[in-house]
Structure 1
Amino acid sequence: MGITDTISNTLSFLKLGESRKIFYNNPINNQLRQDVEHTYIKAYEYNEQELIEHEFASVQECARLKDSRYNVWLNIEGLKRDEIKFIAQTFGINDLVEEDISSIGHNAKMDTFENYIYCLVYMLSYNNNRFFIEQEQISIICGRKFVITFQEEHGKDAFGKLRLRLQNKDSKVRLNSIDFLFYELLDAIVDDYFYLMDKLSMRIETVEDEILNNLNKRSFAKIIFYRREMMILRRNIYPFRDIITVLMRNEDSFFNKRTLRYLKDVSDHINQAREMVENYRESISNIQDLYLNQENNKLSRSMKVTAIVTCLLAPATVIGGIFGMNFKYIPFLNNPYAFYIAIAFMLLIPVYMIYVFKKNGWF
């Protein structure tokens, strides 16, 4: 019954995240995403002196941004396949990149082309209502004078602080070339990883305290759940580190030296995030071991009590069995005090056994 309860509690807890993909998809089975009802298109044209903001009703209005004399950041939230195709054709984006943006289930990756760089990464956020990690695929295309970002959903955005910095004409993003904006986008996504891990660390500590103070079957379900959360973090952070490493090689001189120094900072953050994930995974493994040890101790205590009770009742059982035999001649059979003598032995022998057990430190 205990095992059944544990499995039932585990399944009910894990049901919170049953719609999320934990493992990578088969690369030959990548699915095209479903079109959303409405897309939100926002663009920024900027240089050191000016910032022009646009909100477009359709992607066709974005076409004029291709020949802008400013640096351009085009952000599209909510994706439709025909609109992705239009943007790709307008800005000269490869068909393979268009296909990657239009489908789901890819690994984080980076591809370098002659006039632009394409990155596919995942933005992670923490659902405070249901207490699990949500992931959103982000596609970033960085050209010589433009950056295009494709976000799956409207409203989940790691780039709010970056938009505020764009308002300030003295900000570094306004004073540098477009590759610096590309760095800022990656840095914003990585910063959110740390916020997420802080949330998870508090949850993991809560589980540990629960196991130490109030062990129950649901604790094991939480351990399994947070092991899955660590898998999601790991599958997103590890490829991100490889992306930054490739970018820093700068084989095509796409980034200037100043931006490369900032990318080094992102690389340091990713390495730190990787170490934190490994530490959390080890902590969860230790917590699982702690849970199993607590369960074993609990079982050992139960078995110990059972064994002691059995031992204490054994003399009474033996005495009762002896004098319950159906023989004609039994000692003390006609003694008027035989019953009381037998009861006395049944009580005194267990008391003596308790004294011996205590003296030998058996309980």
Structure 2
Amino acid sequence: MKTPIHRNKLFSALRDVQDRRNTRRSFGIGTSPVAIEPPGDAAETTVAWHSYGTDGYSVEASEPAPGDDRLLWIDICGLRDHARIAEVAASCGLSDLAIADLFHVDQRAHTDSDGDLVLTVLRMPVAGPPFEADQITLVLGAGFVLTIREGPRDCLGSVRKRLAGGTGRIRTSSGYLFYALIDAIVDTYFPILERYGDLVEGLEQRILASPGDDAMRDIHLLKRELLDIRHALWPMREALAALQRDDTPQIDEPVLPFLRDCSDHAFQLLDMVEVYRETAQGLVDLQLSSLSNRMNEVMKMLTMIATIFIPMTFIAGLYGMNFDRASPYNLPELGWRFGYLYAIGLMVVSASTMLFVFWRLGWIFGKKRRSRADD
């Protein structure tokens, strides 16, 4: 059973996230390309050294002793301590330009080669909806994988469990761990997009039931969220395609089929985003059509009310004319004993007749009645 989504609170959270995105820090123009500028709101830096192999797995807070032939996953979280991050990155063989790029948290997803190292930058989803994604940089080298995460939230818990459990081939090579990390990031988009699908369906039902002015605002918020997800996923295709090229270092032949499967998942995610975006655009037309239909119903009701009162007004105006009663042709009803009741009854009969006609046409008091020919 799906967990119910509190849509009013959710769309309020969407607006808050959009406001925070609009206030993200940008780097100064003209600074040196190798200058290190950590973001102003950078999280506290922690470094975890995951040492693993076919014979075991351990996590240390400092670099393992030299001479250990195990594979390493160096996981850096937070960009505040730029000196320590630069030291670890330099020890892994990254150039000064690549180290400076680690602190640019608004990069487009891409894959580069830095000597014998492979550097891939992705947007890692950490919440949604509202959609929030942190930048993660993955560096693949000989016998190690280095990850630099923007914040403490991540979606890599399943990879840590697999390393600790020692199941499968994840402990056999650093290239496979590199793939497993990317695959975990890509797969995290699926449940997030499913929740956005639920939002689209709920918004559609809400518009059909009771179209309101706030629905259009929520539709545009939803479209903006889907556009942000598309911006995160679209360049990911190129980044994954670059990993499958023959000249990419450190990527072994056995890992290529897994990367191709991961690339297929990215294309599938893009298809889902495009479908939801088209559906959201259709909700705009549905909202406008629903408002128009509701306005037509209101206008029809007002027209019927005015139409009912037209003959009544005519009768009242007819008997309100001040002609000489001496002539037998000038409104003889004015001299009748029950002339007033006659005029009122005439008005009631005319209104009742029109109501009956409107009912037979199906305009009021229910649906249009079917004829015998339809049966």
* Bucket of the pairwise TM-score, normalised by the shorter protein: 0.7 to 0.9
After superposition, the C-alpha distances for 1:26-50 in whole angstroms (9 at most, x for unaligned) are 8986985126463221111222224
Alpha-carbon distance, 1:111 to partner = 1.3
After superposition, the C-alpha distances for 1:277-333 in whole angstroms (9 at most, x for unaligned) are 112222223333333332222222111111111100111222323444566666344
> Matched residues in 2 for 1:246 and 1:25: separation?
29
Amino acid at match of 1:79: L
> Matched residues in 2 for 1:47 and 1:224: separation?
49
Amino acid at match of 2:55: Q
Equivalence map 1:1-363=2 (5 Å) = 14-21=14-21, 32-34=38-40, 36=42, 38-56=44-62, 62=63, 69-80=69-80, 81-127=82-128, 131-154=129-152, 156-175=153-172, 177-325=173-321, 331-332=331-332, 333-360=334-361, 362-363=363-364
Amino acid at match of 2:21: K
Contact 1:109 1:120 in 2 (8 A): yes
Residues 267, 360 of structure 1: alpha-carbon distance in 2 compared, 3 angstrom cutoff: same
Alpha-carbon distance, 1:222 to partner = 3.0
After superposition, the C-alpha distances for 1:52-106 in whole angstroms (9 at most, x for unaligned) are 32124xxxxx4x7798633211001111233332233322312332222212322
Alpha-carbon distance, 1:189 to partner = 0.2
Which ranges of structure 2 fall in alignment gaps of 5 or more residues?
Answer: 1-8, 32-36, 365-375
* Count of matched residue positions in the alignment of Structure 1 and Structure 2: 344
> Matched residues in 2 for 1:260 and 1:96: separation?
28
Secondary structure in 2 aligned to 1:107?
coil
Alpha-carbon distance, 1:339 to partner = 2.2
Residue 34 of structure 2 corresponds to none
Secondary structure in 2 aligned to 1:34?
coil
- Root-mean-square deviation (CA, aligned residues, Å) is 3.1
More helix by share: 1
Secondary structure in 2 aligned to 1:148?
strand
Contact 2:43 2:151 in 1 (8 A): no
Alpha-carbon distance, 1:19 to partner = 3.1
Residue 4 of structure 1 corresponds to none
Tell me the TM-score normalised to structure 1 length.
Answer: 0.83
Q: Which has the larger radius of gyration?
A: 2
Secondary structure in 1 aligned to 2:241?
helix
Contact 1:35 1:79 in 2 (8 A): no
Contact 2:14 2:130 in 1 (8 A): no
Tell me the TM-score normalised to structure 2 length.
Answer: 0.81
Which ranges of structure 1 fall in alignment gaps of 5 or more residues?
Answer: 1-8, 57-61
Residues 27, 334 of structure 1: alpha-carbon distance in 2 compared, 3 angstrom cutoff: farther
> Matched residues in 1 for 2:24 and 2:351: separation?
63
Contact 2:76 2:85 in 1 (8 A): no
Amino acid at match of 2:230: R
Contact 1:10 1:222 in 2 (8 A): no
Amino acid at match of 1:271: F
After superposition, the C-alpha distances for 1:12-31 in whole angstroms (9 at most, x for unaligned) are 67533233438999898698
Residues 14, 132 of structure 1: alpha-carbon distance in 2 compared, 3 angstrom cutoff: closer
Secondary structure in 2 aligned to 1:69?
coil
What is the aligned-residue identity percentage? 27
